[in-house]
Structure 1
Amino acid sequence: MRSTRAPGALEPLPDDGLPDEVQPLVQALNSLLGRLGHALAQQKAFVADAAHELRTPLAALHLQLQLLERAASDDARRDAMQDLRAGVRRATHLVQQLLTLARQDPGETRTLADLGLLDVLREVVARHAPMAAARGIELGLDVTTDTGRHARVHGDAQALQTLFGNLVDNALKYTPRGGRVDVRLVSAWPAVVEVEDNGPGIAADERERVFDRFYRRIDDAAGPSNIEGSGLGLAIVRNIADVHHAQVTLHDAREGHGLRVRVGFDGAPTHIPPAL
């Protein structure tokens, strides 16, 4: 009696006793089933995480709306409206980051092209310049003419703008007024980019965890960080880097105070002396 198999079953097909000429087909199907099962498991986990993370800002929006409706004076109404706008902004940012992360599947086939890395970095710096100016932070692009001319990568320009944009955005969030954020094109071949700030930095034992989805940094003195964010920025950075076969590592800033994020393409070394 033949055993039945559910239509949605993803378990490997049995290959015992099959003719030799059929074995490659069954192995290929099992490989496909394995990849499909892994993708579905990732999708299920992502949806569960997203639903959990969206619950809090949506509940906050509901509460802020109630406060606005109950406001008894113009001042109270103005304060409630300001809080509501901030809540909408945070929820919108979280949804945008979720959509970006959902699109950055390392296993997805992408059309990559040869592109100049300097053009990507210039666009990122220009886009973040108004934010830096508003926060009193000096944002600079450090590159020599020769390095800028020869630094090219095989990649997706929009995805790389997202990668470096998230790094600059994070640096600006954590750098105090009067501080500095530098985007540095270190070398052309292999291509290496660093984003460095003189903010509080990240403790060495926390540097790997910050790439986890929805992870928020902890301040020993103040508890969970009060910096606005979705906890997805560095997860997106890691995913895009994986697509481009790049490595992202975190280091102390050159002057010892702050964070230096190093992105190395095509096997560039990720551990270097701080003075280099």
Structure 2
Amino acid sequence: MRSLRSRTLWRVMLLLLAGTGLLALYNYHDSSHEIAEIYDAHLAQNARLLQGVMSLPLAGTERQTLYRAFNEALSQSGEGRPGHPYENKLAFAVWSDDGELHVRSPSAPSFDKPPQAPGFSNETRDAQQWRSFVLPVQAQKLVIWVGERYDVRDDLVGRIVRHTLMPYLAGSLALALLVWLAIGWGLEPLQNMARVIRGRHPDSLEPLQLVPLPRELEPMQAALNRLLSQVESLLQREHRFIADAAHEMRTPLAVLRLHAQNAAQADNEQERQQALGFLIDGVDRLSRVVNQLLTLARLEPASNRSHWKALDVQALVTDSLAELTPWMLRQQVEPDLEIASGDYLTRSDRGALEVVLQNLVSNAVNFSPAGASVRVALERQGGDLLLTVQDSGPGIEEARLERAFERFYSEGNPNGAGLGLSIVSRAVQRLGGDVQLSNRPEGGLQARVRLPVLVESQP
């Protein structure tokens, strides 16, 4: 693709040439019209002068002498003699009303008879185009014809056009050079920005701070800074994920290796089976950690509501709890679902909401004793949805409630990865809501998730 300077220059020059070309065309037609008017006026004026001369009160012999003097003077024009080249292109003739030719310029065309129509006309005589003016003089019984060849007018118009266009073309080239330099000067801030970006270290993600900066480049700098911030955020997420994975997997991998060694060095089948059982449990725990880490990584990006769809939260909660019920019954925990009457239609991220519910219910089941129940409640409060999950476990000390949402913080569950509530917090933030933990007076922990209700028309 051509440079911005070339693109701008060609467009400016094309517009300039087109505009001035239209003006030149208008001037050409206007000049042609004005020249025609001036020459027509000269033709009429010459005819009037001839009328005045021919109307002099002269005797017959004196008039003939005048005619001879006319013809003799006109015969002196031509090349090599003082005068003008256009003399032979201007002509006149005078007849009496009975058709007798009194006087005629040498350059005048031939006539079979005097013209009869008075005024201006265009005619072809002797293979030449003429502009004619006929003036009948009734008092002297004369017909005066004055004519001018059209090539005189065309030559004058051509000279005017040439004298106008040549400076215009030369000026256009000079103007193109000046516009080229002016555009380059105008694009200098953009070139400075490009040099600054090229000169930055690949690892540098600091925002651009170019001062002074034209207003037109401020959105570009803001967009670049926003992109750099997003790239830095992505890199931080990547580093955090790697650090989290390394932190959480180091110990389980070491334990798995120890169990594998114990199974290989077992003295009898019972010890081997015991070591393999520990190995399987360790693999299961590590699988849960990996799944939790991947879920947390998917929830990291900022909320993007463009893909959110209409969702019936009541149906989602019912279906999700139905899927979890067989597992809950195997854990000897009873599900208890309570949904208040109301409208639970909203726009939301179905996947994120399922993650919230599944993690809260799983966490409640893991901390509830056998024979207990886990209560899930859904209700409307004003413009919000309120999802509550309650268990019958030991709860959490008040001083440690805030830490429950920290990564890898596990309270009273040796098999936990400490990521469940952190995932819940991240997912609820993504959905634009908030989550709170509290101890129930009768015992157990209560998680309350408040989510805004978004109508279908909202972005």
Instruction: Flag whether TM exceeds 0.5 (same fold).
Output: yes
CA distance in structure 1 between the partners assigned to 2:208 and 2:355 by the alignment:
41
| Aligned residue pairs, count | 256
Does residue 235 of the first structure (1) align with residue 422 of the second (2)? Answer: yes
Does residue 45 of the first structure (1) align with residue 231 of the second (2)? Answer: no
Q: Which residue is 1:125 aligned to?
A: 321
Does residue 136 of the first structure (1) align with residue 332 of the second (2)? Answer: yes
Counterpart residue type for residue 88 of structure 1: V
Cα shift readout 1:100-153 (whole Å, capped 9, x = no counterpart): 111112415351111111222122212221222222222111113x23xx1123
Counterpart residue type for residue 141 of structure 1: L
Does residue 215 of the first structure (1) align with residue 409 of the second (2)? Answer: yes
Counterpart residue type for residue 353 of structure 2: L
Per-residue deviation, 1:15: 1.7
1:238·1:248 contact (CA, 8 Å) conserved in 2?
A: yes
Cα shift readout 1:224-265 (whole Å, capped 9, x = no counterpart): x34421111111111111111111111222x43111100111
Does residue 184 of the first structure (1) align with residue 377 of the second (2)? Answer: yes
CA distance in structure 2 between the partners assigned to 1:191 and 1:79 by the alignment:
48
CA distance in structure 1 between the partners assigned to 2:211 and 2:350 by the alignment:
48
CA distance in structure 2 between the partners assigned to 1:153 and 1:67 by the alignment:
54
CA RMSD of aligned residues (A): 2.0
2:310·2:345 contact (CA, 8 Å) conserved in 1?
A: yes
1:154·1:244 contact (CA, 8 Å) conserved in 2?
A: no
2:404·2:410 contact (CA, 8 Å) conserved in 1?
A: yes
2:385·2:450 contact (CA, 8 Å) conserved in 1?
A: yes
CA distance in structure 1 between the partners assigned to 2:345 and 2:233 by the alignment:
33
Cα shift readout 1:45-71 (whole Å, capped 9, x = no counterpart): 221121111111111111111111111
1:123·1:161 contact (CA, 8 Å) conserved in 2?
A: no
1:153·1:191 contact (CA, 8 Å) conserved in 2?
A: no
Does residue 247 of the first structure (1) align with residue 434 of the second (2)? Answer: yes
2:338·2:376 contact (CA, 8 Å) conserved in 1?
A: yes
Q: Which residue is 2:16 aligned to?
A: none
2:303·2:431 contact (CA, 8 Å) conserved in 1?
A: no
Per-residue deviation, 1:187: 2.2
1:15·1:23 contact (CA, 8 Å) conserved in 2?
A: no
2:376·2:387 contact (CA, 8 Å) conserved in 1?
A: yes
1:190·1:264 contact (CA, 8 Å) conserved in 2?
A: yes
Counterpart residue type for residue 287 of structure 2: T
Q: Which residue is 1:263 aligned to?
A: 449
* Structure 1: runs of 5+ lacking an equivalent: 218-224, 268-276
Q: Percent identity?
A: 36
* Structure 2: runs of 5+ lacking an equivalent: 1-191, 454-459
Q: Which residue is 1:270 aligned to?
A: none
**Rg: which structure is higher?**
2
The structure with the greater share of residues assigned to helix is: 2
- Bigger relative CO (Cα 8 Å, ≥ 6 apart): 1
Counterpart residue type for residue 107 of structure 1: A
